[in-house]
Amino acid sequence: MKILYYNKLKKEEREKLFKRSAIKTDDVYEYILPLLKDIKKNGMKAVVKYARKFDNIKNENLLISKSELKRSSELLDRKTKIAIDTAIKNITRFHELQYPTGYKIETMPGVECSRTFIPIEKIGLYIPGGSAVLFSTLLMLAVPARIAGCQKIIVASPVGDKIEPALAYAAYKLKVGEFYNVGGAQAVGMLAFVHKVAKIFGPGNQFVTAAKSIVSIDPDGCAIDMPAGPSEVLVIADKYAKASFIAADLLSQAEHGADSQVFLITNSDQLARNVSREINTQLKNLPRNEIAQRALKHSKIVVVSKIETAFEISNDYAPEHLILNLKNVSRFKRLVKNAGSVFIGAYSPESAGDYASGTNHSLPTYGYAKSYGGVTVESFMKSVTFQKLSRRGLTNLAPTIITMAEKENLQAHANAIKIRLKK
């Protein structure tokens, strides 16, 4: 990785230092719009057509039966089953505390207002396939959906000729409603226009991301969890950090994809050099080293004069994952303003949150951590407000409502109050 010295950079160089690559949406949108229109018009027939073309699916029936899920899950080794069970337990324990409680208040005599949380009835989960089957993502999405009380969970994932046993075990264990062997934009189209889910969750490539964006503004489409871009990690470390730990953390993110971004910001020149060497050493033993190498080409190690500067840069960048490998981390934790998920201390690798610590790994990327949080139980619910006014309550509130309505020239609003008081 290239080492840069922040204080030696010009202002314009600093501004470009952590700039994300623009996502080329025009070509992608032009490519998938006809596909989504076809699915919207012709339904499952069109989904099957594109699944055959892009996912190499030969079977016209894309639905994977519950018996098939069970058979495949039984092929999974005991060690992995125990690991998945432990992850589900931890994710459940953490997310159960997120269940929102409603409230009720009398804002003035006779005026009662309340707020209630209701689960979204039907949701769609997209689980990436391809070179890495991310069965952990199913845990991160299905567990909070179950806690929220969603009635129907429909999963789409391009599993190929046969479903991977770990993914099958997770699906069977979490009792998903329906599981379809389809990926890409066609999966998003199927969830939105065929199954008509109310909201779609899950990460994906540029085609999945673009499709989610399109269906979110289509009048016949549905909501989505959050905007998404390539995965990313930023590590802030001092001279006390172990170079091998940091290199491993950076590479764990780099192996996700060639467009992933990984950064180290440190106030130690020696650590920067040690990490750079350690990356080259560890990279040789990674099965996905070619993917990681491509990601490292646009990733950087930045040396700053003081750690506080690192937090200023990080808050402006708003990373998906932020690792604080600092000796006196409690002193700096308060400086974190924008981040998807934060990993504190030398023994808190990003991998822990990705799989089994209990927090969710479905997080905002591409700088959206400035305004979005990660997936929670509330993500699978919506809040509804209620109000109940007695005659006394309406009488008490009437002067305020009538004055405001007439000030806005909305006489019908005012009349809705006056007519009740006349009677």
Q: Which residues pair with 422 in a beta bridge?
A: none
Specify whether 321 is catalytic: yes
Helix-, strand-, coil-residue percentages of the chain, each rounded to 5: 50, 15, 35
Quickly count: other Cβ atoms within 10 Å of residue 209's Cβ: 23
Q: Strand 111-119 to strand 381-389: parallel, antiparallel, or no bridges (unpaired)? A: antiparallel
Closest by CA position to 135, among listed 79, 185, 88? 88
Angle between helices 289-296 and 243-254 in degrees, nearest 10: 100
CA-to-CA separations, 292 to 137, 209, 251, 421, in angstroms, rounded: 21, 22, 7, 71
Residue 348 phi, psi dihedral angles, 5° rounding: -125, 75
DSSP-assigned letters across all residues of 20-71: PPPP-HHHHHHHHHHHHHHHHHHTHHHHHHHHHHHS----S--EEPHHHHHH
**Helices (H), strands (E): how many in the chain?**
17, 15
| 235, 263 contact by CB (below 8 A) | yes
Active-site entry in 95, 256, 321, 361: 321
| Whole-number Å distance between alpha carbons of 48 and 301 | 46
For residues 124 and 200, the answer to whether their CB atoms sit within 8 Å is: yes
SS3 390: coil
Which residue among 232, 255, 320, 350 is the active-site one? 320
Catalytic residue check, 15: no
What's the one-letter identity of residue 100?
P
The tokens 């491993």 sit on which residue? 248
Asked whether the beta carbons of 113 and 105 are under 8 A apart, the reply is yes
Cβ neighbours for 258, distance < 8 A, ≥ 6 positions apart = 291, 294, 295
CB atoms closer than 10 angstroms to residue 393: 18
Nearest one of 382, 380, 383, 384 to 147, comparing CA atoms: 380
Strands 63-64 vs 178-180: parallel, antiparallel or unpaired: antiparallel
Query: Secondary structure of 344-361 in the HEC alphabet?
Result: ECCCCCHHHHHHCCCCCC
Q: What are phi and psi of 203, to 5 degrees?
A: -85, 170
Active site residues: 320-321
